[in-house]
Copies of this chain bind each other. A is one copy, B any other.
Amino acid sequence: MTAQTAERTYRIGEVAELVGVTTRTIRYYEERGLLGKDSARAKGAHRLYTDADVTRLRELLRLRDLLGLSLEELVELAEAEEARAVLRQRWHSDPSEAVRAAIVEEAIPLVTRQLELVRARRAKLAEFEADLKKKLRSLEERRRTLGMKAG
């Protein structure tokens, strides 16, 4: 919780290592509109990322990996993150209460939807785990039975 006022930036290779993907993935996400294109960047110039970009990318990857969403589905569900990024950047520059309220109102149903998806996944995994435990106990029971006859 230290006051970080110095806007640190990262190069694409640093970001890739931080979040555990390749630079290709990051450029591809930019192509598909999942990461804000820096329209000020000259053709051929290096891409630069902020801490907020790294956070956003981590959230996208978590949705992708844990929920198995396509990039198209990510675009929809990640608008909450988009809104939050806008919120973080504009919170100070645009002090309008109405704008802040609108951003929050938009974000809530999307985060709620994410929460629902995560819960549904957890339920399926719980069922899977129960089935595997049952299977394992059955196998161990058979092993004991066979071992008795063999030994």
Given A139-B108, A140-B108, the answer on whether A129 and B118 have CB atoms closer than 8 Å is yes
Chain B neighbourhood of A74, CB < 8 A: none
What size tier do the contact residues of chain A reach? 35 or more
Among the stretches A5-13, A28-36, A96-104, the one at the interface with B is: A96-104
A104's contact among B97, B122, B126, B143, by CB below 8 Å, is which?
Answer: B143
Copies of this protein in the assembly total 2
Nearest chain B CB to A84's CB is how many angstroms away? 8
Partner of A128, one of B97, B118, B128: B118
Chain A interface residues (CB < 8 Å from chain B): 62, 65-66, 68, 97-98, 100-101, 104-105, 107-108, 111-112, 114-115, 118-119, 121-122, 124-126, 128-129, 132-133, 135-136, 139-140, 142-143, 146-147, 149-150
Contacting residue for A122 out of B101, B129, B140, B143, CB 8 A? B129
CB within 8 Å for A125 and B115 given contacts A101-B143, A136-B108: no
Least CB distance from A29 to B in Å reads 18
Other A-B pairs beyond A104-B142, A114-B132, A118-B132, 15, CB < 8 Å: A62-B128, A66-B124, A68-B68, A98-B150, A101-B143, A101-B150, A104-B139, A111-B132, A112-B136, A115-B133, A118-B125, A118-B128, A121-B125, A122-B125, A122-B126
CB distance from A96 to the nearest CB of B (A): 11
Chief secondary structure at chain A's binding surface: helix
